[in-house]
Amino acid sequence: MRTYDESGAEFVGVIVLIAIAIPFCIATPLWIFYELGFSQEANQLRDWIFAQDVWVRLLCFSGIGLVGFFSLLVAGITIYQIGKQLLLALIGFTEWLIAATLKCIAVLQGLIAVLISNLLWLIGLPFRLLADAVHDGLVRAQRAIGSRIEENRQLRTLYREEYADDFAGFRDFKRYWDALQRGEEPTYPGGDEEKEEPNFDPGPRPNPRPRADPYKQALAELGLSGTFTKAEFKARYRMRMKEVHPDVTGSNAAAMRVNAARDLINQRKGWS
């Protein structure tokens, strides 16, 4: 296989390039003259050059070629710079377009996330409302049960301390208390009922413990004497209730005793 000298090939290439470029360099000024409207002057210059000797002709064409070369060089540099700026502008626009696209995608993702969150919130709203209603119902039931248990505890304490001798059991006292709370006027058993004597002699009996009068206890609870008017009774009841209110004492037992005393006095006096 034959090999060629690379330097010789480069030299031949340069010669060919010059041979191709020389006509363009010579023709460029004439083309510029024609484009600028100086065609007559260009023709006269051409005729004058061809009328001269060979050496003068070559010198003129060399000058015209140099002018054309520098014109092409300036044009090439200008085109290169313009193309470079256009390319940089295109790259900058592309980068801006990519950044704007990414921002739009991020905004759309945020909007989609917000929409999905709101949609899930709306879907879960009925279940949350139902759960809140069930929770509130359980809380109210728990409070009602706790209040009922506390009331029964205080009633049992009140029954053991003051009314155990007047009622057969706590159930009877509870029925009597519930009737008073409903606004009824049940018969207070007290100590007025006569007990049936047994048919046999049980022998000597111990002295029975004197039974306290519930009416006197009610008067003592409200701080009243034997004679008083209804207005005095109501004023004393309000004053006593302020002293034993659960918000002040933190307990319902004293308030329950005051209310029981009020109900008993109203019953004995026939006041409504």
The CATH number linked to 265 is 1.10.287
Q: How far apart are CA 177 and CA 231, in angstroms?
A: 25
Residue 44 burial class via C-beta count within 10 angstroms: exposed 0-12, middle 13-18, buried 19 and up: exposed
Q: How far apart are CA 221 and CA 158, in angstroms?
A: 13
Sign of CA dihedral 173, 174, 178, 181: positive
State residue 197's pLDDT score.
35
Q: Is residue 74 part of a domain?
A: yes
Q: Which of 101, 119, 137 is the last residue of a domain?
A: 101
Q: Which of 101, 131, 146 is the last residue of a domain?
A: 101
Q: Tokens 């004597």 — which residue?
A: 197
Residue 80 CB neighbour total at 10 angstroms: 10
In terms of Cα–Cα distance, which of 114, 134, 133 is closest to 122? Answer: 114
Q: Which residue segment(s) compose the domain that 46 sits in?
A: 17-101
Task: Identify whether residues 183 and 266 lie together within a single domain.
Answer: yes
- Ordered per-residue pLDDT tens for the chain, 272 residues: 445 456 666 666 666 666 666 776 777 777 787 777 777 877 887 778 777 887 887 788 778 777 777 777 787 789 888 988 999 999 999 999 999 999 999 998 998 999 898 889 889 989 888 888 888 888 888 877 877 788 778 888 887 877 777 787 888 888 888 887 776 777 777 544 433 333 334 444 444 445 567 888 888 888 887 788 888 888 889 888 888 888 877 677 888 888 898 998 888 888 86
Measured in residues, the chain has a length of 272
Residue 112 burial class via C-beta count within 10 angstroms: exposed 0-12, middle 13-18, buried 19 and up: exposed
* DSSP letter, residue 36: T
Q: Is residue 106 part of a domain?
A: no
Q: How many domains does the chain have?
A: 2
CA-CA-CA-CA dihedral for 253, 259, 262, 267, to nearest 10: -110
Q: Which of 79, 101, 123 is the last residue of a domain?
A: 101
Task: Identify whether residues 89 and 184 lie together within a single domain.
Answer: no
Query: Helices marked H in the chain — which ranges?
Result: 6-35, 39-50, 54-158, 170-181, 214-222, 230-244, 246-249, 253-269
- Taking phi over 0 as left and psi of -120 to 50 as alpha, with beta for the rest, 2 belongs to beta
Q: How far apart are CA 66 and CA 48, in angstroms?
A: 19
Q: Is residue 201 part of a domain?
A: no
